Chain A
Amino acid sequence: MNQPWVVCYLLFFFIGACQINHSIDEPEGSYLVEDITLPEGLVGETGAIGFLPDGRLVACFLRGEVMIYNHQKKDWSLFAIGLHEPLGLLIVSEKEMLVMQRPELTRLIDSDGDGKADLFETVTDDFGMSGNYHEWNYGPVQDHSGNLLISLNTASEYGHINEEFRGKLDTTLVPGKPMQKHAAVSYRGWIMKIRKDGSMEPFACGFRSPNGLVVDDQNRLFATDNQGDWVGTSKLYEVKKDHFYGHPASLLWRDGWNQGDPSQIPVEELNVMRTEACVLFPHGIIAASPTQPVFDLTKGEFGPFGGHLFIGEMNQERIVRVMLEEVGGELQGACLPFLDRHGLTKGSNRLAFAPDGSLWVGHAEHFFIGGLGIQRIKYTGKTPMDIYSMHLRSDGFELTFTQPIADTTILRADLFQFRHYYYTYHLKYGSDQYDVQEIPVLAIDISVDRKKLFLKIPLIKTGYIYELTLPGVYSQSGVYLENKVICYTVNKLSE
């Protein structure tokens, strides 16, 4: 700790002397949400978004369009049409884009320079497709060596398999008894790597619905996954080659697999095989259906959260923020709401930062909870009152705020409501919270600049989420915390 600290042991008898002034202003917006008007007749089911270097938006829509939008001129133009459920986009240039469709990853090329794609080259279709509605495909993202990574959804036990299918077929887990997602055709539930020469190799498996990939500046791959069977609550994984992340259906396609139905392997054995997520999103508290993660690399254009991850959420009018740290050689961290409502709609399926530092959100529902259209979130320059970071220490957590907190705040133990719980790993859809316990705050330290707090708590346990609620914390200028709950996933303990 570089900051000088003031040690403030809990003085519970001060509580009564520190009543909050209820006339204090409620938070004012640091971010503005703008609706983008779509062309008349276009169904705003947004499958992917990205930006050309000149700032124009490229958006894919699930009925098959790829459109380009000039925000200054409020002008849309059609780049391509007739694609099949495009859910991913990687822009190479204004004349070349990679689009992940249901049947293949395709390179769209405008070879004659008329602003419309005319050549559609198959980059890879070397994965299975059974006709099951739930077999969505995501990506691509590019690693630092130029390889592409895509993720392949599992199939639904409530869907069917066509007589005509593509890829290898293994119906071990079909028709889904017990009910669970399956991988009847090759590489469902996998993340695949496509080399520069076009060949594809299995990269990692165990995913249920990995609707979001991103590579960071250290060439680390991250993927989100959705709560459901074998996924107690939604997650963010750091994805490493050849690792297994928990949903057993995909194991059918592991090279040399000879153990039959992978879902019949004792859960204790599967649990040993799997790599745990670096961040869990408590269901209904933080997220129910996380989507695309993007790193804020805007150098302050989008506010004070540079380097943090922003992740879409389908089921609530919310964007989630994630902060990661390395503890015991592994990444783990905390998540909290970033933007709740403020004009944001549900179904934040795709996120992308524009060159001007604004965050664009493409919405979709696709027969589930969600929304339609595209919105733009712009930082107003007014620093939000929010939790900037949460770090695990050996005997507690260190919080940093974006603004100094009020003098009275630290003296109230009830302003820091800790509890811990865990989600279990099992076939059943989702998980209850187990071993839910309130955690007392033993002591509080505050830095001289009043932006850092250290909250000392009793014995910290691995495998638990530590949820902190701060209902009444406000800044010296009288602004309440924008977001009042933050959840830290403890996989490793800090020394």
Chain B
Amino acid sequence: MPRLEIVFYQDRMSFPFKFDEDESDLVVEFKGYRLIEGFPEFHYKMNDIYVFELLTSNKQGSLVRRFKFQNMIQDLWFIHGDGDGIGYQSNKGIWKANRLKLNAKETADFTITMLKSDL
């Protein structure tokens, strides 16, 4: 079988978002995607909240994930794995180790940038 590409990153986390820090009964439903100038914007629901996630890249070759959560009234947590060789940055919210906390207003439009780190 032909090998298409080298695997440079593999997400070993389960779903990275939670409404509460210790939430366990989240229902996520994939709804599809839209191509915007060739880039995919994934659509899904977290419980009854619609989420839009646009994947692009920047000049440094990092993966840029732009999120839009609709009609949020609560805080949101983004949690990434440790030691995955990726550095995470965001334009909004507050980081606590590998956890990013965003308030409801910030979730309307924020970006997480994933860059290859030297870990």
Contact = CB atoms under 8 A, between A and B. Distances in A.
Contacts of B30: 104, 122, 125
A322 to B, nearest CB: 37
B4 to A, nearest CB: 11
Interface string B23-46: 000000011111110000000000
A138 B31 CA distance: 20
A122 B35 contact: no
Contacts of A106: 32
A122 B33 CA distance: 8
Interface string A114-153: 0001111110010000000000000000000000000000
A121 B32 contact: yes
Nearest to B29: A122
Contacts of A107: 32
Interface residues of A, number: 10
A118 B35 contact: yes
B32 A122 contact: yes
Nearest to A111: B34
Most chain A beta carbons < 10 A, residue from B30, B32, B36: B32
Interface string A92-125: 0000000000001011000000000111111001
The binding surface of chain B is classed by DSSP as strand
Nearest to A117: B35
B44 to A, nearest CB: 9
B31 A118 contact: no
Contacts of A122: 30-32
Contacts of B34: 118-120
Nearest to A81: B35
A120 B31 CA distance: 9
Contacts of A120: 32-35
Contacts of A119: 32-35
A365 to B, nearest CB: 15
B7 to A, nearest CB: 15
A107 B34 CA distance: 11
A334 B101 CA distance: 68
A121 B35 contact: no
Contacts of B35: 117-120
A104 B31 CA distance: 10
Contacts of B32: 106-107, 119-122
A121 to B, nearest CB: 4
A163 to B, nearest CB: 11
Nearest to A106: B32
A106 B32 CA distance: 8
B28 to A, nearest CB: 12
Nearest to A119: B34
Interface in B50-76: none
Contacts of A121: 31-32
A399 to B, nearest CB: 50
A119 B35 CA distance: 6
Given A106-B32, A119-B32, A119-B33, 4 more contacts: A104-B30, A117-B35, A120-B35, A121-B31
21 contacts: A104-B30, A106-B32, A107-B32, A117-B35, A118-B34, A118-B35, A118-B36, A119-B32, A119-B33, A119-B34, A119-B35, A120-B32, A120-B33, A120-B34, A120-B35, A121-B31, A121-B32, A122-B30, A122-B31, A122-B32, A125-B30
